[in-house]
Structure 1
Amino acid sequence: MVRRPPSRRQSRGFTLLLALGVVAVVTMAVMLSYSVVGREADTQADTRRQKQAFFAAEAGLAEGREAVRLMMDSLGEDNFVFQNHLGAPVNEPGLGSINDPWYEVLPGPDTDDPWNYYRLKGDSLQPSEKTSGPDSLPTPNQAYSDYPDQERVRYRVFMHNDKERDVGVGEDRNRKVWLVAVGEVFSPGGRPTRSVVQALVVHQNQESVFSPGCVTRGCGPDMTFKTPDKSPPKTTYHTTL
């Protein structure tokens, strides 16, 4: 009986399968790492856009508050009709309703675009604003390799009544109004990131006096309403052993 030597095809086939398995595992690990890095970059970008939108809304609210103050100071009216001074109410989804209309306080410079833009370009900055500063280490005053322009940050400001009683729609008599500021970072072809802030604005001409405790409301020097003594607190000191 003649014995034939064992074939080597089985060993070569097993090596090929093992190599394919290793390549598949490495490929899956690389794809998983790439997916994790991509999600982390998207998360950081969303956080940055949310902060930009919030700061744009805060800045728009401050600008709108000053515009309302100057407007009410110049009018000097107790009966403020929004449409007479701010135009027609906004007719856009999510911005007011028939029973509570919103009015644009700071319309954009373009008639076709109601947004106000916070644009910042590198050409408008001073040379010192494009460097790391004199105290930076290891190289002070190092110029930035790139300074991206800010083109996609914008805001809008609206005003509506505080729903006081016995007052018609779009009218104010108690000189209290709500200001709503919307900040947005838009992306062409993508979803925008928005932030909304609002504040109740009270307009008054008299001086505001503030003090700690309840002194302005008529309480005594002990900060309670139980004592009839309205004199200022004593400043003498007694030393005891």
Structure 2
Amino acid sequence: MFKKNKKEDIVSILNKNIIILKEISRARTRIKILQKTTSDSILNCKDEAILQAYGIYKERFKKPLFSDLISIFLNHVEEFEFHKYTSVPQAFKVQYRENESRFLKLGKINLKDHSLRVFTIACSKNKNNPDRFAEEIVLLALTHDFGKCNKVIDFVGSSAKETHNQVSAHYVSIIMRQLGYPEEFVELFYQTLYHHHSHQETIKNTFYIQALNECDYEARREEEKKIMKLEGKQKGAYRDF
């Protein structure tokens, strides 16, 4: 009995040490990212799609207020390899119970493409709003799904219980605080991202959440049309064969 307990104690100690080492590694990675963030807030991507999206943003906002944040977040889209992640993770399948085929279709859209699509749609919308507010919506649109990327989850140190929008909120607020943005501004972004999937009428109908979700919904409609068009071409090719 004593030997068994001793063996369990050793296993427990080893597991704790592994957890500690993982946390140390995560903390070091986070420090490196934050150090790079403060020293490099210009776009340094090579990805053509990201560069094109940034060009649309610069064309829309002649005197941008948040180009440093936009550049950092676009850099992270490339650096964190968003193209390797689906924009609709398996955990979201429960939301598509009534239409599983829609889940399977949207699952083909990677996180990079979806993030850039929502971002560019936001750039083209809200032209009746002052540029300050319109650019804030663009920033929200770009970052709203960052919490679906495992590297962002690791960066934040999120628990398994947190949803992707909550992780996104933590991530964006950390970067903003690192750059010295006012707490009131940080809190606006945090609350909007954190609650943008809320079903409460008083929350989901607020200006920023409504504007963000409109861009997101429009992007999903475009993606579904794109997939249906592609599937139609494939069926035609099969018939020809």
Give your verdict on TM over 0.5: no
The structure with the largest strand share of the pair is 1
- Name the TM-score, length of structure 1 as normaliser: 0.28
The structure with the largest helix share of the pair is 2
- Name the TM-score, length of structure 2 as normaliser: 0.28
Larger of the two Rg values belongs to structure = 1
Where relative contact order (Cα < 8 A, 6+ residues apart) is larger, the structure is 1
